[in-house]
């Protein structure tokens, strides 16, 4: 088989949710946007629903449609982008709950789907999505009278516990929502780890479920094994890969593995990345190309059949660091060519 194997430990995913759930007294939802952070929203959603999740969060109505088909009726599916033009039919048919971001969205929702559930997203300082304080003040009484199922905001710097923005946004969110009867949510993974003042009625972890930072106690969820297509001897002074960017400092044994930037293995990781043969680290040499990577396996006493990029020795965040990015990008970039192995 020339396809790499992406193993997804659904049991570990559930344990991560349970660990984050134990940190707060309110409800713990789950963010499964971007196709379950690249791991497959249907399989992730079903596993989390069996574990007890009753509130899911997606980015768009289209994502909500796919998730609803997988998990059936019952759990709430909140849509971060709110009620966009063209969303009325999927909102109604899939029983999705838009998180309304503006007065325009509120008018569209009330007119198109009177009596249909909705939530509200407020901008507490991130300046990305949600109603700003002045806008919210103008419609607050009217909006609350309609009975929102959830009022939420999002923290900009929750992965930096000491950042002043966290306390600032907490104060802003409380100023906009204290005294209301609607359920409130401010914390994703990082906010959940900030402690009780940030928890309110619901936390909604995302990256922490999938084994990523800032949840340092997360159980690894993803293992990625890349098959070796060919192994060759490279003499001292010869070059490897596009652009001749790596020159062998000695006679070397070089393995070519199946996997490249078309599979979400970002080109920028280049020679900073490491793969593993068992416990032995094997550095990537030369450029990451569309379908292939070249790896120095000189230190091994055998030619390996496969090498591991993510797993026991290396987390998604370590791989991300080599590429100068974050674990979120690595996970959500994982391609469709992998043979996916689901473990429970």
In a domain, 239, yes or no: yes
Structure-block tokens of residue 238: 């010869």
> What proportion of the chain, given as a percentage, has pLDDT over 70?
100
Domain presence at residue 117:
yes
Same-domain check for residues 124 and 179: yes
pLDDT of residue 48: 98
Residue 216 lies in a domain: no
- 33 a catalytic residue: yes
Give me the mean pLDDT over the 220-231 stretch. 97
Classify residue 339: in a domain, yes or no: yes
On whether both 65 and 202 belong to a single domain, the answer is: yes
Q: Clarify whether residues 203 and 227 are in a common domain.
A: no
Residue 239: band (very low, low, confident or very high) from pLDDT cuts 50, 70, 90: very high
**176 shares its domain with 226:** no
Question: What's 172's domain CATH number?
Answer: 3.20.20.10
Give the model's pLDDT for residue 336.
86
Q: Which domain holds residue 325?
A: 222-343
Given 33, 198, 261, 328, which residue is catalytic? Answer: 33
Instruction: Check residue 344 and give its pLDDT.
Output: 86
Q: With 0.85 as the threshold, say if the pTM is over it.
A: yes
Catalytic residue selected from 37, 78, 242, 338: 242
Burial class (CB in 10 A: 0-12, 13-18, 19+), 73: exposed
Each residue's pLDDT tens digit, 65-87: 999 999 999 999 999 999 999 99
Q: Is the pLDDT of residue 13 over 80?
A: yes
Active site residue 89: no
| Same domain as 83, residue 37 | yes
* pLDDT for residue 1: 61
E strands, the chain, in order: 5-9, 27-28, 30-31, 55-58, 76-79, 97-100, 119-121, 151-152, 184-185, 202-203, 222-234, 239-240, 246-247, 252-258, 274-277, 280-285, 292-296, 306-310, 339-343
């Amino acid at each position: 088989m020339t396809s790499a194997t992406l193993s997804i430990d659904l049991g570990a995913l559930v344990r991560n949710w349970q660990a984050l759930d134990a940190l707060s007294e309110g409800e713990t939802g789950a963010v499964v946007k971007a196709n379950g952070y690249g791991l497959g929203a249907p399989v992730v959603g079903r596993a989390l629903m069996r574990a007890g999740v009753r509130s899911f969060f997606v980015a768009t109505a289209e994502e909500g449609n796919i998730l609803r088909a997988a998990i059936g009726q019952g759990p709430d599916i909140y849509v971060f982008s709110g009620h966009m033009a063209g969303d009325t039919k999927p909102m109604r048919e899939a029983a999705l709950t838009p998180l309304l971001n503006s007065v325009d969205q509120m008018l569209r929702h009330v007119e198109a789907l009177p009596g249909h559930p909705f939530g509200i997203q407020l901008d507490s300082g991130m300046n990305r999505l949600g109603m700003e304080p002045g806008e919210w003040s103008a419609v607050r009484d009217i909006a609350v009278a309609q009975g929102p199922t959830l009022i939420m905001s999002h923290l900009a710097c929750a992965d930096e516990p000491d950042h002043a923005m966290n306390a600032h946004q907490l104060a802003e969110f409380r100023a906009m929502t204290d005294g209301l009867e609607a359920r409130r949510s401010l914390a994703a993974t990082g906010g959940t780890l900030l402690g009780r003042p940030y928890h309110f009625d619901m936390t909604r972890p995302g990256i922490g479920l999938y084994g990523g930072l800032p949840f340092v106690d997360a159980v690894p969820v993803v293992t990625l094994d890349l098959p070796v297509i060919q192994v060759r001897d490279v003499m001292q002074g010869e070059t490897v890969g596009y652009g001749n960017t790596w020159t062998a400092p000695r006679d070397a044994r070089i393995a070519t593995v199946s996997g490249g930037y078309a599979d979400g293995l970002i080109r920028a990781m280049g020679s900073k990345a490491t793969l593993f043969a068992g416990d032995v680290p094997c550095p990537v040499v030369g450029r990451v190309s569309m379908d292939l990577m070249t790896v120095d396996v000189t230190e091994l006493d055998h030619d390996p059949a496969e090498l591991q990029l993510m797993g026991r020795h290396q987390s998604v965040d370590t791989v991300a660091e080599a590429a100068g990015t974050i674990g979120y990008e690595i996970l959500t970039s994982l391609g469709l060519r992998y043979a996916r192995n689901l473990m429970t």
